[in-house]
Structure 1
Amino acid sequence: MSLRLLQRRAGDGTRSVVLADGEAAHVLGGVSSVRELAGAAIAAGTSLAAAARACPAGAAVDLAGELAAGRLLAPIDHADPAHLLLTGTGLTHLGSAEGRDQMHREAAAAAHQTDSMRMFLEGLAGGKPAAGAVGQQPEWFYKGDGSQLVAPGEPLEMPAFAADGGEEPELAGIYLIGPDGTPFRLGFALANEFSDHVTERHNYLWLAHSKLRQAALGPELLIDALPDDLCGTSRILRDGAVIWEKPFLTGEANMSHTIANLEHHHFKYDLFRRPGDVHVHFFGTATLSFTDGVRTAVGDVFELTVPPFALPCRNPLRRAAGDAARAVTVKAL
Structure 2
Amino acid sequence: MQNYIEHGGEYVRDELISEIVKRIVKEMSAARENEVLEIVTEISKDRIPIEVSARHVHFSEEDYKALFGIDAVMSKKKELSQYGQFQCKERVMLIGPKGTISRVAVLGPFRQKTQVEITKTDARQLGINAPLNQSGNLEGASGIHVASRELVMEIKSCVIIAKNHIHMNALDAKNLDVVDNQTVSVRVKSERPITFEDVLVRVSDKYSLAMHIDFDEANAAWYCEGDYGEIVNSSQTYKSQENDRQVEKTSHAEEVSTVSKELLKRKLIVEEDIRQIAKKGIDSIYVHKKSIITPLAKDAIRKERIKVLQNAEERGAL
**Which TM-score applies when normalising by structure 1?**
0.25
Q: Relative contact order: is structure 1 or structure 2 higher (C-alpha 8 Å, sep ≥ 6)?
A: 1
Which is helix-richer, 1 or 2? 2
**Which TM-score applies when normalising by structure 2?**
0.26
